[in-house]
Amino acid sequence: MAAQRLDGAARAAGILGEVRADLASPPLRGMRLRLASVSVGSHPTGSLYVRNQARACADLGIEFLPMELPADSDEDALVRRIQELNADPDLTGILLQRPFPPGFNARRLQAKVHPDKDVEGMNPANLGLIVYGTPRLAPCTALAAVDLARASAVPFKGREAVVIGHSEIVGKPIAFLLLNEFATATIAHIETRDLSLHTRKADFLFVAVGRPGLVRGEMVKPGAVVIDIGISRVQGPGGEVRTVGDVEEESVARVAGFLSPVPGGVGPVTVAMLMRNTAAAARLQTAKVPSR
């Protein structure tokens, strides 16, 4: 029996509908939301994601402000721009578009974004709140992956979950979000021995490495929920270029109970989570405005 596909576009539409209703209700009703997208130089590989962000903002009435620093800007120039945006009382959120130029310190830059404007959920203060079980603004991709797994209707509580990939903004937050749901979470990484030994026991398997075909059908527990977060561009035998994930879809689909496709799975939900975080950031800032 083939795995049931988890439709990211449908789930994203539901989230965006919730955000739209939130923006039409107090305290956000009538508020002007503005989202700054900051990049250093142009990045063709990230242009599709930026276009999707801009389109989602337009649909919700959120002002999207693309800001491109010259390609030869240094890290301190980007820090100064972040600090200017932090100080702008009319700006709701700040997006730092990746990839950064070689040599830029991503952790330093993430820490410079004010926690209340950190719509990507990557400031250490916001990441730390996930550990305490009180997430406020969490990383969008991690939120999207867990949300899409929840759409399977398989409960997290008491289940085995394995996350392949231990990055600070995807793998680790996913594991902590799952722990908060009382799943038993294991993080695998490049030094993990016998990866299949872990993956074959997983009721939930999240893969976020960026390595096409890493997970094959024989590595998956029958009936498991498999969330493919990886995204790569590969050339087919006929020379065509296509987008694939970290999961060998054909073989895994024959074993898994649920599978998120690439494209069309985690990606659309990630953009929707960015919109949800933007609304949440606006609510945080509203709560801190002194009454007159």
The reply to whether 90 and 109 lie within a common domain is: yes
The reply to whether 177 and 112 lie within a common domain is: no
The reply to whether 51 and 100 lie within a common domain is: yes
pLDDT digits (tens, 9 = 90+) for 272-286: 999 999 999 999 999
The reply to whether 242 and 278 lie within a common domain is: no
In angstroms, the CA 197 to CA 16 distance is 38
Look up residue 198 and give its two tokens: 């872990």
- Reported pTM: 0.94
The reply to whether 166 and 214 lie within a common domain is: yes
Residue 292 has a pLDDT of 40
The reply to whether 166 and 256 lie within a common domain is: yes
Return the CATH number at 86. 3.40.50.10860
Interacting residues of 288 by C-beta distance below 8 A, sequence separation 6+: 116
Residue 241 has a pLDDT of 86
Q: How far is CA 130 from the centre of its chain?
A: 14
Please count the other Cβ atoms lying within 10 Å of the Cβ belonging to residue 187.
Answer: 18
The reply to whether 273 and 252 lie within a common domain is: no
The reply to whether 163 and 202 lie within a common domain is: yes
pLDDT < 70: residue spans in the chain: 1, 43-46, 289-292
The alpha helices in 24-61, defined as continuous H runs, are 47-60
Q: Is residue 10 part of a domain?
A: no
The H helix count followed by the E strand count for the chain is 10, 11
pLDDT digits (tens, 9 = 90+) for 48-101: 788 999 999 999 999 999 999 999 999 999 999 999 999 999 999 999 998 899
The reply to whether 106 and 159 lie within a common domain is: no
The reply to whether 180 and 243 lie within a common domain is: yes
Range of the domain at 53: 23-133+269-288
Please count the other Cβ atoms lying within 10 Å of the Cβ belonging to residue 116.
Answer: 22
